């Protein structure tokens, strides 16, 4: 038998994130953060479910938490585009060359601050702290 689950509204998730951060202060993993948010949500409805990515994106978009992003470098080249953390646009980090040209050093997200060099940095750990 499949478990029934319901999707809480963004507003409900945002409130649960605020409550979880208020109650627990610094949370040092995305999985733990999502568990705490689920605990808050399930006070209202035991069938609620929410993904880690949704909790992270709503915390960033609603400016609820300061998020430190730790990552590891891969062998893959970085491509400009959507931020893997929040979905925002990444902008090139440029540097001037001795000859007056510019060279791309990496990319930074203007929304959440995630950055990567020319080799792609994969986020491995998120630390949430209340703002």
Q: Give the residue extent of every domain in the chain.
A: 10-66, 72-124
For helices 10-24 and 30-41, the axis angle rounded to 10 degrees is: 110
Q: What is the pLDDT of residues 55-102, one digit of tens each?
A: 999 999 999 999 999 999 999 998 888 999 999 999 999 999 999 999
Choose the most confident range, by mean pLDDT, from 2-11, 72-81, 114-123. 114-123
Q: How confident is the model at residue 10 (pLDDT cuts 50, 70, 90)?
A: very high
Please report the DSSP string for 20-75 in residue order. Answer: HHHHH--B--HHHHHHHHHHHHTTT-TTB---HHHHHHHHHHTT-EEEEEEEEEEE
């Amino acid at each position: 038998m499949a478990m029934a689950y319901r999707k809480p509204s963004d507003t409900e998730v945002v409130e649960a994130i605020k409550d979880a951060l208020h109650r627990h202060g610094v949370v040092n993993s995305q999985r733990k953060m999502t568990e705490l948010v689920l605990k808050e949500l399930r006070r209202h409805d035991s069938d609620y479910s929410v993904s880690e990515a949704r909790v992270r994106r709503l915390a960033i978009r609603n400016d609820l938490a300061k998020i430190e992003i730790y990552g590891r470098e891969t062998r893959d080249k970085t491509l400009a585009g959507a931020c893997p953390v929040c979905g925002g646009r990444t902008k090139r980090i440029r540097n001037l060359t001795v000859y007056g040209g510019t060279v791309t050093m990496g990319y930074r997200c203007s929304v959440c601050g995630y950055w990567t060099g020319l080799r792609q940095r994969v986020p491995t750990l998120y630390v949430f702290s209340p703002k």
